[in-house]
Amino acid sequence: MSKALELIEVRKAYRAGSQVIEVLKGISLSVERGELLVVMGPSGSGKSTLLNIAGTLDKPTSGRVMIGGVDVTPLSERELAIFRCRKIGFVFQSYNLLRNFTALENVMIPMLLSGLYTPEEAKQRALELLKVVGLEKHANKYPSQLSGGQQQRVAIARALANDPEIVLMDEPTGNLDVRSSAKVVSLVKWLNEVYGQTFMVVTHNPELTEIASRVVYIRDGMLYENPPRSLLAAKLAEEMSRGDYARELRMCQVRLLEVKLASLKRLARSGRIDPRSLALEIKDLESRIKSLKRLLSSTSS
């Protein structure tokens, strides 16, 4: 199986004043033709930068980008624009449909820009693509007349317009409700399995992994084949391993509970609150304080 996309030791860094911020740290990734690859990652992990470089919207600081066997890294902006139009499809979270054009016209535009089709040919193909995504009856509607899910399906039809090597999707269900998300996700799976379209989807939504033929994970600008241990989990493990810190927290908790207990007893003695209504709470506090002191005593011995 040949490769639709290949990233070779891709790095991306930005300069912020005197500081250099490395967003991608030597990423290598291959997407085979016919794959449905899902890239999982939280906000700030580098997944959008990865998608932009894979889609030739941005250039790597170093490394190479191969699409359909073509090294696009050295191409000029003009050459990239032509290549991108003909070889890459995009589906964005916010649909990015042109609001003054109908669904049919939105799907036709990439074909007309490619220079490969006459207006009549583009229209014929656009109608077929809208049929593929189940929206042939909505061909003459404007985006404002369509639901979010319908707009996203028009965006998918538009992405398929020039028979791309790969369709890149950025959080495709991010703006959709559950029902619309299910329709879009099932359409993507169907297009991959039946239509044979190659997809690369970046998301933080774990539900999308259910349709993937392969899942990779990105965190802090690096790719992993298996879910990396989160920074939160690592920090938690570090804190929990600090016996002195755990002891100090328990001592703080004892002092807090003792102050609360004294306050409740004072209120009960003052007669401002019925002592009977506080009895269970006072008893519970005394029990918790006793347990914590016993635990502190055992850990110090």
Over residues 22-66, the pLDDT tens digits come to 999 999 999 999 999 999 988 888 999 999 999 999 999 999 999
Range scoring the smallest mean pLDDT among 26-30, 123-127, 190-194, 247-251: 247-251
Range scoring the smallest mean pLDDT among 84-93, 97-106, 158-167, 272-281: 272-281
Q: Which of 32, 44, 63, 47 is nearest to 223 (CA)?
A: 47
What's residue 211's pLDDT?
Answer: 93
| Average pLDDT of the residues in 93-103 | 94
Q: d(Cα 25, Cα 48) in Å, to the nearest integer?
A: 14
| Average pLDDT of the residues in 229-250 | 65
Give the distance between the most distant pair of CA atoms in the chain. 91
Over residues 246-296, the pLDDT tens digits come to 778 788 888 998 898 888 888 877 777 777 777 878 888 888 888 888 888
Beta-bridge partners for 10: 27
Q: pTM of this prediction? A: 0.77
3-state secondary structure of 23: strand
| Average pLDDT of the residues in 217-233 | 79
Domains recognised in the chain with CATH numbers: 3-228 (3.40.50.300), 235-300 (no CATH)
**Which two three-digit tokens encode residue 208?**
């999308």
What's residue 164's pLDDT?
Answer: 94
- DSSP per residue, 33-100: TT-EEEEE--TTSSHHHHHHHHTTSS--SEEEEEETTEE-TT--HHHHHHHHHHHEEEE-TT----TT
